């Protein structure tokens, strides 16, 4: 079996490859890509693999964009950090769906399911309706957060959130009136819960809302330095691999 791994976290990609070889020795990892752009380019220039392991949120955009740009006829196993998407849509299209961190036993079951499906039907799986099935009408984005402050709780509506950031390995939510609250979710989890039209992850440490951007300054290597409102003591600069997606997001694309 020849496999393409699409994952923007190198350690996770390596771990998936190691698990695949432990489950089925002899599996060939053809390549590891980490963006929609690179994945589309790879698929256009190589023979289609036997299987794609596909992360839903990539460095530059949602992986569902891949299906709009290139025809995919091989099986796909999706992975994600947060159970947000319409799982039944995946099942209808004979696609499996694994939550991160992916467990070896679950990945092994997915491979068995795939082999059984191919033996019983021999059919080419149809992904043509995937973008439609997984459109916004099937997604419910986060509407509010319950914050614990000592023995008390506070509810923060999503409209009141300016940005999220990591400091000393703790994830904080910053409100538009400049309050900072620790939250239990990781930025990976938050990225999948938040409406991508309103929020964008500019690097590994920041997710910003469109309303929180005060100024933007051109930075080295085509990056952008983002001045936030309310201000943050930590520097917020787009990473190189996310700068292009950030600029497209600003345009509303």
Please write the tens of the pLDDT for every residue from 36-72: 999 999 999 999 999 999 988 887 888 888 888 888 8
Q: Burial, 134: exposed, middle or buried (Cβ in 10 Å; 0-12, 13-18, 19+)?
A: buried
Please write the tens of the pLDDT for every residue from 117-174: 666 655 555 555 554 544 444 557 899 999 988 888 999 999 999 999 999 999 999 9
Q: pTM for the whole thing?
A: 0.55
Q: Write down the pLDDT at residue 5.
A: 97
Tokens, residue 206: 């920041």
Please write the tens of the pLDDT for every residue from 11-28: 999 999 999 999 999 899
Backbone Cα Rg of the chain: 19
Write down the H helix ranges in 122-215.
Answer: 130-133, 187-193
Q: Each residue of 9-47: b (16+ CB within 10 Å) or e?
A: beebbebbbebbeebeeebebbebbbbbbbbbebbeeee
Query: Strands, DSSP E only, in the chain?
Result: 2-6, 28-33, 51-55, 76-80, 96-99, 144-149, 152-157, 161-167, 170-175, 180-182, 199-201, 206-209, 213-218, 224-228
The answer, yes or no, to whether the previous bond of 109 is cis (omega within 30 of 0) is no
Closest CA to 147 of 181, 177, 172, 185: 181
Please write the tens of the pLDDT for every residue from 217-247: 999 988 999 999 999 999 999 998 888 889 8
Q: Write down the pLDDT at residue 157.
A: 96
Sort strands 206-209 and 199-201 into parallel, antiparallel or unpaired.
antiparallel
Q: Is 212 helix (H, G, I), strand (E, B) or coil?
A: helix
Q: What is the DSSP letter of 123?
A: P
Closest CA to 202 of 159, 160, 247, 167: 247
Q: Burial, 155: exposed, middle or buried (Cβ in 10 Å; 0-12, 13-18, 19+)?
A: exposed
Q: Domain 144-250 classified CATH 3.30.420.40?
A: no
In CATH, the number for domain 2-138 is 3.40.50.2300
Structural domain spans, the chain: 2-138, 144-250
Tokens, residue 59: 């460095």
Residues 190 and 207: beta-carbon distance below 8 Å: yes
């Amino acid at each position: 079996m020849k496999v393409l791994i699409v994952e923007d976290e190198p350690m996770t990609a390596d771990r998936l490859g190691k698990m695949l070889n432990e489950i089925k020795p002899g599996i060939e990892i053809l390549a590891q890509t980490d963006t929609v752009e690179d994945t589309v380019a790879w698929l256009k220039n190589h023979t289609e693999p036997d299987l794609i392991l596909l992360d839903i949120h990539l460095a530059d955009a949602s992986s569902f964009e891949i299906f709009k740009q290139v025809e995919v006829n091989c099986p796909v196993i999706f992975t994600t950090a947060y159970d947000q998407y319409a799982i039944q849509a995946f099942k209808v299209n004979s696609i499996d769906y694994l939550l991160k961190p992916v467990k070896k036993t679950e990945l092994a079951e997915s491979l068995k399911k795939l082999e059984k499906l191919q033996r019983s039907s021999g059919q080419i799986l149809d992904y043509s309706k995937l973008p439609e099935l997984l459109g916004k009408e099937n997604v419910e984005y986060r509407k509010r957060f319950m914050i614990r402050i000592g023995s008390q709780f506070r509810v923060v509506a999503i409209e009141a959130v300016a940005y999220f950031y990591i400091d000393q390995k703790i994830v904080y939510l910053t409100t538009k009136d400049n309050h900072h609250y620790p939250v239990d979710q990781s930025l990976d989890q938050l990225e999948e819960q938040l409406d991508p039209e309103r929020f964008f992850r500019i690097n590994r440490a920041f997710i910003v809302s469109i309303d929180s951007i005060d100024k933007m300054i051109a930075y080295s290597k085509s990056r952008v330095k983002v001045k936030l409102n309310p201000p943050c003591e930590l520097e917020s600069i787009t990473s190189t691999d996310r700068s292009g997606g950030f600029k497209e997001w600003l345009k509303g694309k």
